[in-house]
Amino acid sequence: MNETVVVAGAVYDRGRLLAARRSAPPELAGRWELPGGKVEPGESAQEALVRELREELGIETEPLERIAGEWQLRPGLVLHAWTAKLLDGEPRPLQDHDELRWLAPEDADAVDWLPQDRPAVAEAMRILRTL
Ligand code: 523
């Protein structure tokens, strides 16, 4: 089986979770996601996540734990999620996004999440409350 993994980051800082609004492609634009992208050949999921968050948002992060679960995006493409701690930088939408928001756990539903991201967001908020 040749499945590509898309790794998404539940990036947190000071008790809040980072949400990113996609600007592309048209069918996803305007919806909110946990930022990330495809794992490239030869990369670990954690390496891919650190690279994607650096490229897309200009931040340095440390992946912490895999969020249990796996969500099929389309045949051959599956979504995984990790919690990640913000180490350095202020996130800016450099690529693929046009708006960012830091959400406290009680604001989890304040944005229009992509449906496939919702289970990981719920679990990330649960974890965030324990930190
Ligand atoms: N998702 C998704 N949720 C989510 C991410 C990061 C991605 O549903 N949190 C979907 C959106 C796309 C696919 O996964 O259909 C690939 O995500 P993308 O475009 O962010 O990954 P890239 O930037 O690695 O993809 P390429 O532009 O193809 O390189």
Provide CB contacts within 8 A for 9, sequence distance 6+. Answer: 18, 34, 35, 36, 49, 52, 53, 61, 63, 81, 82, 83, 84
ipTM: 0.96
Mean pLDDT of 40-57: 98
Quote the pLDDT of residue 62. Answer: 98
Specify whether the CB–CB gap between 54 and 60 falls below 8 A: yes
- Rounded mean pLDDT of the chain? 97
Specify whether the CB–CB gap between 17 and 124 falls below 8 A: yes
Pocket of ligand 1 contains residue 20 by CB under 6 Å: no
Mean pLDDT of 16-34: 97
Pocket of ligand 1 contains residue 33 by CB under 6 Å: yes
2 pLDDT band, cuts 50/70/90, is confident
Q: Which two tokens stand for residue 61?
A: 């992060």
Which percentage of the chain shows pLDDT scores above 90?
98
Going through the chain in order, the beta strands assigned E by DSSP cover 4-13, 16-22, 32-33, 36-38, 60-74, 77-88, 97-103
Pocket of ligand 1 contains residue 116 by CB under 6 Å: yes
Can you tell me the distance from the alpha carbon of 15 to that of 51, in angstroms, rounded to the nearest whole number? 23
Quote the pLDDT of residue 1. Answer: 62
